[in-house]
Structure 1
Amino acid sequence: MQIRLSSGMMHETIEVSEKHIAGILCPNTSSAFAPLDDNMIRNAINHPVNSLNIENRTTSSSKVAIVVDDATRPTPTSRILSIILKKLSGIGIPDQNISITIATGLHRNTTAHERTLILGDDVISRFDIADNDARNPIAFAHAGTITGGKEIYLNKRILEADIVITIGVVKSHAFAGFTGGAKSILPGVASQNTIHGNHCFYNIEYPRGVLGSCEMSATRKEMEATARLVNPFIVNVVLGDSNQIIYAVSGDVVDAHRSAVDFYKKIALRTFPEKVDIAVVHGGLAGSINFYQALFGCNVVKTTERPILKKNGIVILFAECKEGSGSKLLEQIMPTFSEPDEILKYLASNKVFDDQWAVQFLATFLRDIHIFLVSEGVSSEIAKNLKVKLFPNAKEALDAAIQTSDLDYRMAFIENPDVLIVNLA
C-alpha cells in the first residue's frame, strides 16, 4: 500500500507491505467538538472547579498578577484575557493594580511583535507587562519549601499579588505529562535555579519523565507543590485542529487542570495492539521547525506509560527541520562523548544547565533505540554530531530499517505526534 508522509514543505509517498503494518495512528479529529463562543468561556470562568470564583477572591483594592503563555504556545491569550480583564474591571479593580507576566521560564524574552500577537496593543498600552527574567536573581524572592527540601524562588510580581490568575493551554508534554496547570508557575515564573531543580536529571529520567501521565511525572508533582504556594486561579483551554477553543475550564490548579487533561485525552489518547520494530513518525508543527522539537516524535513511541516501540527498535523521523538542529547545545555536547551512556553519566553527576533535558532525552534514545532521520534542514555534519543516521528520503531509510529487522517485523505509522499519546493496549 502507499502511504504519504508530510512535514512542513517536505512530502514523500512510499510503498509498504501491508502485512507488516501493525497500525496507522493519527489524532482523533476535533471537528466533532464545536468551538466555544465568548459566553461559553465566560461561563467556564464563572463556574470554577473546586475553587472560589474570582469575585469571591478579590475586592476592588486587590492586587492581581496575571500569568500568560509566551510565543512557544498557541494559546489564544488575548481572547481569554479580555474576558478576565472585563471581570476585574467590573469588580472595580483599577488597571494599575493589575500586572501581566509572560511565563517565559528559561525561554528568551518576547519580542515587541510577539507581545502584540499575544496580548494586543490595547492591553500593552494599559498594563504593567514583563517577561519572566529567570536569570536575574533580584527579580525573585523565596516562596517556600516543597517536599524533598527544595527551596522555591518565584517572581516577585507574583508573590506581591493578592491573587494570581494563570491562562494556559493543555496538550501533551515530553516529561511533565501535559502542559497547562501548574506549569504556568514552574517553570513559567520561577527563577533559573528553581527551574533547574525541577528539570534535573533524576526527574527527567524515564519513567519519572513521562509523556501523557500527570501521576507518573516527577516534574509535574513538584510543579503542583510549587503552585500550591501561591494558590493560583487557573483558566485552561484545549484547542482544536484550527486552534479554536473547544474546551475551557477554570479553578483549582490541579483539579481544573485534570478536567482539561481528561478532555484532551479524547482527542490525543490512542492505544496500539502490539509492540513494533519500526515506527515512522511524520507531520505536526514541531518536526517541521527543528530537530530539537522533532525529538518529541521519539517520546511519543518511547516515553509514554506503555510505549509501543521495542528495545533497540527504529524510529524513522520524517521531519523537515527547516531551522536545523534548533539547539547549539545539542551540537556542542553530543560529539564530546563517544557513547550515550557517557553522556548520561556526565549529566547525572554534574550541575544542571539550561535545556539539559533535550540532551538527556537524545542520549537515552540513542542508548535504547535507533534514530533514522529524513530531513532537508539537517546537514550531514550536524547529523553526525548528533549521532543520528541521516537519509536523503524515506524509502532509503525504510529499506535500511527493514534490512536490520527480523523477517516478521512490525511497523507503526504515527501522524502528527504533537497531539498524540500512544500507549500499548
Structure 2
Amino acid sequence: MTVINLKYSDGLTELNIPDKNLVGILNPEDMEGVRDPLREVRNALDNPIGSVPLKELARGTKNVVILASDITRPSPSHILIPPVLDELNEAGVSDEKITIVFGLGYHRKHTEDEKKRLVGEEVHNRVRCIDHDINDCVYMGTTSRGTPVEVFRPVAEADLIIGTANLEFHYKAGYSGGNKSLLPGVCSKKTIETNHVMMIKPGTMPGRADGNPMREDIEEAGKIAGVSFIVNAVLNSHKEIVKVVAGDPVKAHREGTKYIDRMYKREIEEKVDIIIASCGGYPKDINLYQAQKGLENASYAVKDGGSVILIAECREGLGENTFAEWMLKAKTPHEPVEWIQKEFRLGAHKAAVICMVLERVKVYLISSMDDKLVKDIFFIPARSAQEALDRALAEYGENAKVLVLPYANSTLPYTE
C-alpha cells in the first residue's frame, strides 16, 4: 500500500492506494530562476531566433508599438521592456516614437498606478503607455479559418509591432505567449469571440501548438497584423524567469515552449482508469473556475468512461458568475457545449470546457460545496478522496490502473 498526502485547501488529505493499482505519481520539475534576469533578456535580444536583430528591424521606423500583458498575467514586463527600449534607441528610434499598449482582451482598464507597476516607474515616465480599447479597432484582413482581424487602431497604424509576454500552458490555445499578445490582447470583441469558439475543435488543448486550430488562427492573425518580433519569458512556478526567447513570433515561441514542456509535461505509456488530481491546495483550489485547469490536465490521462477524482476545496464555490449561471441552468453536460457555439461568453466558456470533460468521464469532486450543488453541476460528491477511490476501484475491478497528479493545475500528462 502506498500512502500519499495531497494538498487540499490549507492542509493535506491522506490517501492509501494499493501498489498493484498505482502506475505512477507525476510531479512537475521546476527549473531554477536565472541569476540576472536583465542579462537574460539582453542575451535573448543578442541571439534572436529565426529573425534579424531587433536593431535592424527598427532602423528607419517612426512608430513602434510594444505589446504588454495586463495586470491579470504574471508577465514580467518591467524586466522585458527596458532592454527592448535600449535596443530601439540604439537603432535611432527615440522614446517619443514608441508606445506601450497593454493588451486587455476583455478585461477592465488599468489605473495609472497599475500601468506604472507593470512596466516600472522609469519606463512609464519615458514612453507613452496606453490601454487597448476593444471599441476602437480597425479591420486588417481575415484568417483562412474566417476570423476577421480587427486590431486596436494605434497598433494597426504602427510600422513595427513587438510582442512581449510570459510563456505557460494555455488550456486550449496550447501555450500563452507569441502572437497571443495580439489576439486576444489588442483585438475587437468580434475577433476574440470568433477565435475563441474554436476551443471546442479537435486539437485545441494545453501543450500543443502545431495542429492546434486556435493557436494556428492566432498566429495567422499576428502575421496579418504585422507582429514582427517577440520577447517572451518562461517562468517557473515561483514566477521566476528561467529563460527568455526573442525573435520570430512563431520560431522563438516554439523554442520557449520546450522549456515549459521540460518542466510541466509528463509522458505516460497509456491512459488509465482512474486519475487522482489535486489542484495543489489554496489558492489554486479556491473555486471550481480555477480548479478547471487541474481537471482539464487530468482529462488527457484518463480513458473514456474512466473516473477523475478532483481534490479542490472550492471555498468560494463556483467562482465566476456567468460560469455559475451556465453550469446551474444546464440540464445535461452537452448543453453548454452547444450554447457556446451560438453565443461566446467569457466565463461561460469554462462551463463548456468542463462539460466536454463531463460528457466523456465521471468526475468525483472532493470539496466543501454542498452535495446537491455538486450533483446539480454533473459532478459526483464524495466526503474524501479515499471514499471516491474505493468506489472507483470497486467499479473498475482489481486490475484498475490509477495515476496521481499532486499538482494537476501545472502538470500535463500526455501519451505519444
Length-normalised TM-score, structure 1: 0.90
Aligned letter for 2:298? V
Please tell me the root mean square deviation across aligned C-alpha atoms, in Å.
2.3
Moved more, 211-220 or 5-14: 5-14
- The offset of 1:291, in angstroms, is 1.2
Match of 1:394 in 2: 385
- Structure-2 change in CA distance of 1:14 and 1:116 (3 Å): farther
SS in 2 for 1:50: coil
The correspondence of residues 62-211 of structure 1 with structure 2, limited to 5 A, is 62-111=62-111, 114-134=114-134, 136=135, 139-200=136-197, 203-211=198-206
Q: Deviations over 1:160-197 (max 9, x none)?
A: 11211111111111111111111111111111110100
Q: What CA distance in whole angstroms lies between the structure 1 residues aligned with 2:277 and 2:60?
A: 52
Aligned letter for 1:40? E
Moved more, 176-185 or 408-417: 408-417
Match of 1:339 in 2: 332
Match of 2:242 in 1: 246
Q: What CA distance in whole angstroms lies between the structure 2 residues aligned with 1:321 and 1:96?
A: 48
Moved more, 125-134 or 361-370: 125-134
- The offset of 1:225, in angstroms, is 0.2
Q: Extract unaligned runs of 5+ from structure 1.
A: none
Q: Deviations over 1:9-28 (max 9, x none)?
A: 24212222222111100112
Q: What CA distance in whole angstroms lies between the structure 2 residues aligned with 1:380 and 1:123?
A: 51
Moved more, 221-230 or 140-149: 140-149
**Residue 261 (str. 1) matches residue 257 (str. 2):** yes
- Structure-2 change in CA distance of 1:17 and 1:280 (3 Å): same
1:282·1:415 contact (CA, 8 Å) conserved in 2?
yes
Q: Deviations over 1:123-159 (max 9, x none)?
A: 334432233332x2xx100111221343210111211
SS in 1 for 2:331: coil
**Residue 224 (str. 1) matches residue 224 (str. 2):** no
Length-normalised TM-score, structure 2: 0.91
Selected match of 2:401 from 402, 407, 410: 410
- The offset of 1:34, in angstroms, is 4.7
**Residue 372 (str. 1) matches residue 372 (str. 2):** no
Aligned letter for 1:225? E
Q: What CA distance in whole angstroms lies between the structure 2 residues aligned with 1:271 and 1:157?
A: 44
SS in 2 for 1:115: helix
SS in 1 for 2:359: helix
- Structure-2 change in CA distance of 1:327 and 1:404 (3 Å): farther
Aligned letter for 1:213? R
SS in 1 for 2:317: coil
1:30·1:241 contact (CA, 8 Å) conserved in 2?
no
2:183·2:221 contact (CA, 8 Å) conserved in 1?
yes
- The offset of 1:43, in angstroms, is 1.7
Moved more, 366-375 or 283-292: 283-292
- The offset of 1:379, in angstroms, is 4.6
Q: What CA distance in whole angstroms lies between the structure 1 residues aligned with 2:373 and 2:126?
A: 46
Q: What CA distance in whole angstroms lies between the structure 1 residues aligned with 2:275 and 2:384?
A: 16
- Structure-2 change in CA distance of 1:394 and 1:181 (3 Å): same
Aligned letter for 2:206? L
Q: Deviations over 1:46-69 (max 9, x none)?
A: 221122222112246621111111
1:287·1:320 contact (CA, 8 Å) conserved in 2?
no
Match of 1:321 in 2: 314
Q: Deviations over 1:176-231 (max 9, x none)?
A: 1111111111111111110100011xx21252322211112111010000000213
Identity of aligned residues (%): 28
- The offset of 1:357, in angstroms, is 2.7
Q: What CA distance in whole angstroms lies between the structure 2 residues aligned with 1:242 and 1:344?
A: 34
Q: Extract unaligned runs of 5+ from structure 2.
A: none
**Residue 270 (str. 1) matches residue 270 (str. 2):** no
**Residue 235 (str. 1) matches residue 231 (str. 2):** yes
2:28·2:411 contact (CA, 8 Å) conserved in 1?
yes
- Structure-2 change in CA distance of 1:293 and 1:216 (3 Å): farther
Q: Which runs of 4+ in 1 moved over 6 A?
A: none
- The offset of 1:401, in angstroms, is 2.9
Match of 1:20 in 2: 21
Match of 1:30 in 2: 31
Aligned letter for 1:269? K
1:36·1:245 contact (CA, 8 Å) conserved in 2?
no
Q: How many equivalent pairs are there? A: 413
- The offset of 1:39, in angstroms, is 2.2
Match of 2:353 in 1: 361
- Structure-2 change in CA distance of 1:160 and 1:382 (3 Å): farther
Match of 2:43 in 1: 43
Q: What CA distance in whole angstroms lies between the structure 2 residues aligned with 1:326 and 1:232?
A: 38
Aligned letter for 1:43? N
The correspondence of residues 277-292 of structure 1 with structure 2, limited to 5 A, is 277-284=273-280, 287-292=284-289
